[in-house]
Structure 1
């Protein structure tokens, strides 16, 4: 039986995420910075995989942004989210992380977010 094109794309996307994830793991000393982008919003969280705990998170999907129905998954929003998230990490005492790009290419929005976090002094 043939799979649909949409199912095939989803399967390949999942394989890309698994491929990245099996090499990236976070600990208390160096937690994992997981980045996710949807069609409309950006999400980031710092995770200690050994403890199974989320240490910090940030998103463009806030109540203030929900009122406007525009797209927040762009480079300008990624820079803004990365800068505020990097400052929040620094305030919590997190200085080094492992970057999990979530199967996305390190280009465009992902690169803009990562560069903005690095500008705040977070090393990865």
Structure 2
């Protein structure tokens, strides 16, 4: 970490490092990781043993369901969670471990998790 970074970002990266020592994605239970920027939200399902991304979704995709103007950021985040769960189910993934990536489990991060659970993922 460099000293030029925002102290909040440094704290998040410290939390992320602490979380990642405990949360590992396996072929049986891959890791569902979420990244939140100011405008967008990104979700990936990763198998850490092979270092492969199995599925991904974000608000950047040109999908009318994920349009931010239709309901705001939290609703868009929930739809990203539902979409990543559908992609996972198509690939035969039913169970994942959730990696909040150092972000506090609130707002858009929680919305992604709730959307994924609602669509059938188990974690």
Contact 1:79 1:116 in 2 (8 A): yes
Provide the residue aligned with 1:110 in structure 2: 109
Is 2:15 the partner of 1:49? no
Please tell me whether Structure 1 or Structure 2 has the larger radius of gyration of its CA atoms.
Answer: 1
Contact 2:85 2:116 in 1 (8 A): yes
Provide the residue aligned with 2:23 in structure 1: 24
The 2-side partners of 1:101 and 1:73 are apart by 20
RMSD over aligned CA atoms reads 2.3
Alignment deviations for residues 28-59 of structure 1 (CA, whole Å, 9 cap, x no partner): 01000011010111101011001111111111
Residue aligned with 1:112, SS:
helix
Note the residue ranges of structure 2 that are not aligned, 5 or more in a row: none
| Residue-pair matches, total | 118
> Given the two structures, how large is their TM-score scaled by the length of structure 1?
0.84
Note the residue ranges of structure 1 that are not aligned, 5 or more in a row: none
